[in-house]
């Protein structure tokens, strides 16, 4: 049973435009959400997180939005750069575990 | 300050052999987590350990898989009598405590032939 879902396996965006990656979850007990970025042959790298008591967290070009009523979060990258091309994983936490989505492959076209 | 170190990076085993995957956490991190990523899937939690203790192994298959984190040395994920379905990327993460500061290693890609 997939508690965290990323329904778009891939996304292509022109350099300089906004990338929006989406994530849905089913467990209302999740209290912390994270985004990880993963390059081929490397481990996931932490990008940005948000607590369930907030609805927005911003760090430079990256902003995460949380809509608890819809059980939905999104990652906005603006402006997108070719170096952002990677697989992005959404993760949700309950206690010490992280539950991951299946990832979205972002391609930023120069 | 080295990150989470996993070795080997690639491991090939024949069916029925044993696979041993090693993970050295970041300096100062006493919590270790193992995740598995099957092809076309996200990372799935397997086990959470602190020094000499298994805290949560709810994601670990009941047979053939075991994990340890001894007082000295790296954490070891052991898979006995490997089968083709064990082929996956195995990632280790460490943290100083809890989910803040969770850092992943580069993974071990296990191929069972």
Q: Is B16 left (phi over 0), alpha (psi -120 to 50) or beta?
A: left
- Residue for token pair 């298994």: B54
Residues 6+ apart with CB under 8 A from B84: B15, B112
Q: What is the DSSP letter of A101?
A: -
Q: Which residue, among A8, A44, A48, would best test binding to B if mutated, counting the most B CBs under 10 Å from its CB?
A: A44
pLDDT one-digit tens code per residue, A63-108:
999 999 999 999 999 999 999 999 999 999 887 778 899 999 999 9
What band does B107 get if pLDDT is binned at 50, 70 and 90? very high
- Average pLDDT of every residue of chain B: 92
Task: Please give the pLDDT value at position B99.
Answer: 66
Taking residues B44-72, report their average pLDDT. 93
Taking residues B84-90, report their average pLDDT. 95
* Total Cβ atoms within 10 A of residue B55: 13
Task: Please give the pLDDT value at position B42.
Answer: 81
A12 closest CA partner among A110, A102, A100: A110
Task: Please give the pLDDT value at position B96.
Answer: 85
DSSP E strand stretches across A1-110: 4-5, 10-14, 19-25, 32-38, 45-51, 56-59, 62-67, 72-77, 86-94, 97-100, 104-109
Taking residues B87-91, report their average pLDDT. 96
A60 closest CA partner among A68, A52, A48, A72: A48
Taking residues B57-73, report their average pLDDT. 93
CA distances from A38 to A58, A69, A95, B19, B64 (A): 20, 29, 23, 25, 29
Among A44, A96, A99, the residue with its CB nearest the CB of B104 is A44
Give the rounded percent of residues in chain B with a pLDDT score beyond 90.
Answer: 73
Task: Please give the pLDDT value at position A6.
Answer: 94
Q: List the single residue in A with minimal CA-CA distance to B42.
A: A102
Q: Which residue, among B43, B56, B104, B111, would best test binding to A if mutated, counting the most A CBs under 10 Å from its CB?
A: B43
Task: Please give the pLDDT value at position A95.
Answer: 78
Output the CA angle B9-B77-B29, nearest 5 degrees: 85
Region of poorest pLDDT, from B24-33, B57-66, B99-108: B99-108
What band does B43 get if pLDDT is binned at 50, 70 and 90? confident
Question: Residues of A with CB below 8 A from B104's CB?
Answer: 36, 43-45
Can you give the C-alpha Rg of chain A in angstroms?
13
Q: Which residue has the higher pLDDT, A97 or B93?
A: B93
pLDDT one-digit tens code per residue, A11-55:
999 999 999 999 999 999 999 999 999 998 889 999 999 999 999
Cis before residue B8, ω within 30 degrees of 0? yes
Q: Is the pLDDT of residue A109 over 90?
A: yes
């Amino acid at each position: 049973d997939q508690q965290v879902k990323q329904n778009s396996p891939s996304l292509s965006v022109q350099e300089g435009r906004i990338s929006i990656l989406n994530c849905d979850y089913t467990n209302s007990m999740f209290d912390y959400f994270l985004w990880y970025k993963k390059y081929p042959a490397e481990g996931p790298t932490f990008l940005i997180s948000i607590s369930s008591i907030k609805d927005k967290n911003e760090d430079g070009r990256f902003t995460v939005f949380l809509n608890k009523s819809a059980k939905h979060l999104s990652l906005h990258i603006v402006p997108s750069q070719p170096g952002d091309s990677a697989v992005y994983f959404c993760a949700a936490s309950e206690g010490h575990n992280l539950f991951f989505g299946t990832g979205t492959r972002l391609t930023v076209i120069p | 300050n080295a990150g989470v170190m996993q070795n080997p990076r690639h491991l090939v085993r024949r069916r029925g052999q044993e696979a041993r995957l090693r993970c050295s956490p970041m300096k100062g991190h006493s919590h270790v987590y193992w995740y598995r990523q099957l092809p076309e899937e996200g990372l799935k939690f397997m086990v959470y350990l602190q020094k000499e203790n298994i805290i949560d192994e709810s994601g670990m298959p009941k047979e053939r898989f075991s994990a340890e984190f001894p007082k000295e040395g790296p954490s070891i994920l052991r898979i006995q009598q490997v089968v083709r379905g064990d082929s996956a990327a195995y990632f280790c993460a460490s943290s100083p405590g809890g989910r803040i500061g969770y850092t992943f290693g580069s993974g071990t890609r296990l191929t069972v032939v």
